[in-house]
């Protein structure tokens, strides 16, 4: 997934999107995530020059902070530096920038949090499967690497509140877009999903009258939709958003219906991991995340990296 995506006229759009974000905070419960150590799903490869299509603007920006539950400012006096650990190559969330330094959505978000807390911030890139061990051995203070919260990881680390989630969505060819999708609407329709995925499991449980077509990987599934071999595909909305807006799709397809966010299938969300018992840092990050969102900085950051909304 490539890097810098600038969205013009942010100051105008942001006022609209902040309202959308406040409403989106009611959506709780979503995997572009690292499922759990050492599992590493393939990142969705964005194209170098995404096209601006009809879905590019305005778009809903996810907001997972309830303005009615404003966190109290914790004691920040004991925090002087936060050493963030992140993944080496998971664009656009984290990657090595042109100047050789860490870059990406996660990196910029970490720096925004440090600015809010008013502490020095460092970001060290490591292989994803080494991050939890590095945190446990005090080689860093927090992991911000698109790490999905899971019961297995909760046994080893503590997590902040989610700072993003990855919904599931349907995509179809542009001449067959449906504004809303319900199980009865897909009766007899051919729907592709990755074999063995949470998305396939969800279809089997909820869309029992659809004709399910499993595929071994994203490329095969997306190719089937592009060729018209299936009517819809169902998968990770962040990956699909980059594909839809990239050159590989051949401008064939678009999202149909809205996001599916059931946590039982699609996870609790993406959080920042800290060492077990480090409540000072966890509470400080939770407070800073709310502040960054409340000030509109999260919206600006999201729009910079995601020109097609996964939501």
What averages of pLDDT result for each successive group of 10 residues across the chain (311 residues)? 36 35 35 46 39 42 74 90 95 93 96 97 96 97 95 96 92 96 97 97 97 97 97 95 91 94 89 97 96 93 83 79
Task: Identify the pLDDT of residue 58.
Answer: 47
Cα-Cα end-to-end distance for the chain:
18
Task: Identify the pLDDT of residue 102.
Answer: 96
With tokens 């042109």, the residue in question is 98
pLDDT tens figures, 286-310: 999 999 999 999 999 998 988 777 8
Task: Identify the pLDDT of residue 60.
Answer: 59
The CATH code of domain 168-260 reads 3.40.190.10
Which ranges in the chain are annotated with CATH 3.40.190.10? 10-165+268-305, 168-260
What are the percentages of helix, strand and coil residues in the chain, rounded to 5?
Answer: 35, 20, 45
**CATH for the 10-165+268-305 domain, from 3.40.50.10490, 3.50.30.60, 3.40.190.10, 3.30.930.10:** 3.40.190.10
Residue 20 CB partners (closer than 8 Å, separation 6+): 58, 60, 61, 63
With tokens 């990987």, the residue in question is 217
**What is the pTM for the complete model shown?**
0.75
* E strand segments, 15-155: 81-87, 95-96, 102-103, 120-126, 142-148
Task: Identify the pLDDT of residue 68.
Answer: 80
Burial per residue of 294-309, b for 16 or more beta-carbon CB atoms within 10 angstroms, e otherwise: bebbbbbbbbbbbbbb
CA angle 243, 245, 246 (to 5 degrees): 65
């Amino acid at each position: 997934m490539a890097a810098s995506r600038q969205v013009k006229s942010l100051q105008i759009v942001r006022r609209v999107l902040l309202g959308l974000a406040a409403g989106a905070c009611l959506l709780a419960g979503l995997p572009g995530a690292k499922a759990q150590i050492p599992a590493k799903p393939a990142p969705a490869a964005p194209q170098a020059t995404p096209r601006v299509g009809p879905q590019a603007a305005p778009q809903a920006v996810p907001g997972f902070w309830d303005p009615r539950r404003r966190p109290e400012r914790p004691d920040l006096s004991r925090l002087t530096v936060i050493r963030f650990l992140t993944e080496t190559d998971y664009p656009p969330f984290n990657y090595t920038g042109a100047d050789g330094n860490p870059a990406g959505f996660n990196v910029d978000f970490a720096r925004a949090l440090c600015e809010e807390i008013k502490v020095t911030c460092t970001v060290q890139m490591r292989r994803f499967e080494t991050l939890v061990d590095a945190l446990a051995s005090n080689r860093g203070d927090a992991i911000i690497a698109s790490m999905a919260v899971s019961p297995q990881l909760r046994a080893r680390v503590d997590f902040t509140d989610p700072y993003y989630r990855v919904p599931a969505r349907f995509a179809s060819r542009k001449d067959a877009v449906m504004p809303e999708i319900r199980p009865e609407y897909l009766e007899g329709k051919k729907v592709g999903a990755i074999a063995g995925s949470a998305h396939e499991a969800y279809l089997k449980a909820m869309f029992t009258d659809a004709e399910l077509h499993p595929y071994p990987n994203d490329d095969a599934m997306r190719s089937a939709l592009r060729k018209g071999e299936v009517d819809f595909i169902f998968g990770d909305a962040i990956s699909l958003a980059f594909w839809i807006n990239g050159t590989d799709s051949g401008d064939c397809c678009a999202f149909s219906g809205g996001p599916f966010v059931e946590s039982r299938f699609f996870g609790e969300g993406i959080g920042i991991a800290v060492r077990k018992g480090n409540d000072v840092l966890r509470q400080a990050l939770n407070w800073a995340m709310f502040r960054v969102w409340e000030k509109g900085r999260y919206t600006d950051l999201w729009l910079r990296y995601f020109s097609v909304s996964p939501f």
